[in-house]
Structure 1
Amino acid sequence: MTTTQEIHTPDFLSGDEFSIPTFRLLQQDGTLHEGGEAPELDRDQALKIYHAMVATRVLDERMMAAQRQGRLSFYMQCTGEEAAVIGAAAALDDADMIMAQYREQGALVYRGFSYDEFMNQLFGNELDYGKGRQMPIHYGSRKLHYMTISSPLATQIPQATGYAYGQKLAGDGHCTITFFGEGAASEGDFHAALNMAAVHEVPVIFFCRNNGYAISTPSIEQFAADGVAPRAFGYRMHVIRVDGNDILAVLAATRKARHIAVEQNKPVLIEAMTYRLAAHSSSDDPSGYRSKKEEEAWRDKDPILRMQNWLVAQQWWNEEEEKALQEQLRREVLETMKKAEKRPPPPLDSLVSDVYADVTPALQRQLDRLKSHIRKYPEAYPKGARSLDPDVSATHEAGARHADDARGGA
């Protein structure tokens, strides 16, 4: 039972008595804040982190352009939040589970998800690990310990607590990190997850990307308290607030959070203060709710430029290498996109082939009706886009095996 001190007058506390500082190490010019000490980071890992940040930015720019050209139905960018996402991923063990919201493609890039794998999912072709069943940006990879993204907001947060409880029972020395925005922290799932994690003492890191907006709703209209971090006190949980555009601070904070989670079986909450430089999604127009002046002020805090300045100061990077990397990545994105666009979609039978161990009579009836409809109105469907033959071709079989080996999910 929790014990408290006694008082004998009705003195209420409002929470204003507590102020959570923001942890910062790296300044925009690439130098450290006075008194700050960079986390241990060798050249190879530093360049791997930077490469992932730039690769994510290039992917975002090209795929948003593809969506505007009508080649892609939907897209969401990580632009401006690369340090928060990739810095956290770099602090983990590769076998730790990542449960993302939808803006964490940078974590996948860092772990080795290729442009080809991204494109297959975005275009829902025969090599898509999700077999074309989900909308774009719902990535997943079993081999990279990245749980497949689900659309409903905040569902991954209690799932992360449950998964981490399993890791605790397994005793394998791993943890789970779950990413979400400050808007998702307004969902009931957030509070249920934190309470359950604290009570059962599980190795989970709750990583909140506070980017200022839940689509068009500014954070000032979402909660009256000082951000999301103070909520940890209500669950007696370790917490830190960090500059989400500072790659070194995010890396150091998440490393320490992982140590607490794994070594002590204690949950941790990290609030990363950052900014969504892009629109919420390809369906959003941020000019309706925020000013260009505000956006430009945050562009001056670009996390990629900040890390680039630090790398140059370490003499680990130069202008020629930057130009070569940009050219290589842009070429690779375009080449893989063109290939992915030409690949056919999954065979029609894959809609029901692994929903259950055996296709149920109800599902079979639905599939038969769908095939009948397509045969009746073939002009309404792309020629050869769907295979109505239950005997899947060798190409489709190879694609399905490839997907089953690496797709995300539990």
Structure 2
Amino acid sequence: MPSSAPDTAASRRIVLTTFGTHGDVVPFIGLAKQLQALGHRPVLATSDFFRDLVTAHGVEYAPAAPHHSQHERDLGLTQAERLQKAFHPLLGGKFVMEKLVYPYMDQICAELDAACEGADLLVAPPTTPWAHMVAHKRGLPWKSVILQALTLSLHSAQDPPVVSNALSLRPWPRLLGEERYRRWFRTLRNSGRNFIKPLDDKAREYGMFDPARNPIFEGCISPWGSVAMMAPEMMRQPMPTDLPGPVDFAGFNFFDGNTAPLSDELEAFLQDGPPPLLFSLGSSLWFQAARFYPGWSKLCARLGVRAIFLAGQNALTGPLPAGQITVPWASVGALFPRCHAVVNTAGCGISSQVMHAGVPQLLVPFGMDQPDNAARLVRLGAALSVPPRKARGKTFEQALHRLIHDPTLHARARQLRQDINPVCGTVTAARLIAQSCPARHEQP
């Protein structure tokens, strides 16, 4: 927590907005709580699905479409069905924008605009490409908060991203040369301009359309600067010089939104034997548990290791082998340090919590930022990665065996715990945002 007393005279109303799953919202709740501790008046504008979670932490909530309730009503799809489509390796991005975002553009901008009434600053991630339009309309300064290294690497020829499990752009700057790569990638991005027409139309309406600036790329990075809520070690070292700057690295967020103690049942399990493996598919891919958890449970029994399956009730309904348990959810900050290793999907939130716990991880990245996160975590030396198509066969068994027994992986994980940021990234990010909060309507 910040050590200095809040300066009420300098208190600012700061609107934070985000779009996505639990893993996208929780860091912004933590950030809002730290801004409160600094004496500011944050409000978190997001989907109605998260209203109770936001208010339970004492943070002011404002509705900001798109709303989960509208998606379920209008599309006739459950949350699991929507997530499954969103993570399709080829058509996921198209589904998200064309079905979950574009039909609600007017409402999205109107509700965020209403939330910004009387605000001094807007804080938004690049996953809300409409935020900079609302800020422009109001003449409101805004800052980008970046959770994924992928967002930065899409702008870099020195540290290019892994776009999917099947496509890495890392070799191309070496093959083409950095400048030719930049020109090629810019042309590639602009070739899909028709896909972002609803965003361009809204920009025209607000008088800010620029054919040279793509609202999903350049438009999402604020001229007021960005705060990256990740450790700088996630980027190639030495740090690339062609990132969309200025960017301040605040470190990983370790706030998981769950302050409840571990259940008596889980506590008893942990005390009843050696540290177990933990399996989690996160808040985005829990619906895949029935596909993977039964096989992983049998594998753990065969290898003779204890296991916890997070959110596995619907997937593992029968009697479990000795030394295995399923739990609906738990504070990962309290649970991970007591595990031998963690199998997860390489989401930026859960994988950073594993690093903070000082244990190695086996990553099964599905899509979006996960393949890029996985490649970076493997590069740091305390993680292994297996694509989903190989996560139920011999390759996965060999990786799991190494995860359990490789002393180098475990030693590197302990070292990373010492090397990465000791202070929660929301604390540092809140301070950076508060220090840079300009006078209202001041333009860069």
Could you tell me the TM-score, scaled by structure 1's length? Answer: 0.28
